[in-house]
A and B are shown apart, each in its own frame.
Chain A
Amino acid sequence: GAGVSQSPRYKVAKRGQDVALRCDPISGHVSLFWYQQALGQGPEFLTYFQNEAQLDKSGLPSDRFFAERPEGSVSTLKIQRTQQEDSAVYLCASSQRLTDNEQFFGPGTRLTVL
């Protein structure tokens, strides 16, 4: 079956622009996670949802970052007024339940801020 998909795969933005990154989780998966991965580092947690509820957003680095999942399926990570330090790969993962052992990751969106 289809896995987690993310779009766009690559995004180049000028500093100060707003960007929106989309995640389509596996159908029926309740839990959805966003991670940020800087070059040469492991992924770092940003936020997660159970259905449409955002249960934790403690990893979001600033108030320029905003995530939503209004209908409990597709999620969007929005970054306002992008800065160079926002350049990273943004990974989305889903699991059937929050207690599941396996998270399924998408391929990520590589964001480059010039």
Chain B
Amino acid sequence: DAKTTQPPSMDCAEGRAANLPCNHSTISGNEYVYWYRQIHSQGPQYIIHGLKNNETNEMASLIITEDRKSSTLILPHATLRDTAVYYCIVRAQFNYGGSQGNLIFGKGTKLSVKP
């Protein structure tokens, strides 16, 4: 799977939008971009995923550049409970003859939301 690059840490003021960038310049055409987050002492939690179109759900929005080499996760109104490590992961859909279903995590971005 392609590797991703994320800043190690970011701060955000409570109530403001948090924009978390991710570079995935070697992404393949069949690979999706996934975002998970991990709150302290908990397991990772799925946030959102996309292939090439922008996606939005109740948690966040995902903006993928046209060349698909980078993406941004947007938390529109960050709260203190959004303080966590955010992981950007690139993964192909499972193929019994090819790629695996496991997730390959990097070190992620530690987002600190401050009052």
* Residues of chain A having any CB pair with chain B under 8 Å: 4, 31, 33, 35, 40-45, 48, 55-56, 59, 91, 93, 95, 98-99, 101-108
Question: Quick check: A45 and B102 within 8 Å, CB to CB?
Answer: yes
- CB atoms of B44 and A101 under 8 A apart: no
Instruction: Select A43's contact among B41, B44, B45, B94, beta carbons within 8 Å.
Output: B44
Contacts of A4 in B (CB 8 A): 43
Q: Is A108 within 8 A of B43, CB to CB?
A: yes
CB–CB A107/B101 < 8 A: no
Q: Is the CB of B102 within 8 A of A33?
A: yes
Q: Contact at A105–B49, with CB atoms within 8 Å?
A: no
Chain B residues positioned under 8 Å from A108 (CB to CB)? 42-43
Contact A105 B45 (CB under 8 A): yes
In this complex, how many residues of chain B approach chain A with their Cβ under 8 Å: the count is: 22
B40 to chain A, nearest CB (A): 11
What is the CB-to-nearest-CB distance from A32 to chain B, in angstroms, rounded to a whole number? Answer: 10
B104 near A45: Cβ-Cβ < 8 Å? yes
Distance in angstroms from B3 CB to nearest chain A CB is 12
**B7 CB within 8 Å of chain A:** no
Give Cα distance in the complex from A106 to B57, angstroms.
23
Decide: A106 and B104 in contact? CB cutoff 8 A.
Answer: no
**Chain A hits for B106, CB < 8 A:** 42
On chain A, the residues within 8 Å of B94 by CB distance are 98-99
How far is B106's CA from A43's CA once the two chains are assembled, in angstroms? Answer: 8
Known: A48-B101, A98-B101, A103-B46. 20 other contacts (CB 8 A): A4-B43, A31-B101, A33-B102, A35-B105, A42-B85, A42-B106, A42-B107, A42-B108, A44-B105, A56-B102, A91-B43, A93-B43, A95-B101, A101-B32, A101-B46, A101-B49, A103-B103, A105-B42, A106-B43, A107-B43
By the criterion CB–CB under 8 Å, are A105 and B44 in contact?
yes
In the complex, which residue of chain B has the Cβ closest to the Cβ of A92? B43
A106 to B45, CA, bound (A): 9
Among B42, B44, B101, the most chain A Cβ lie within 10 Å of the Cβ of B101
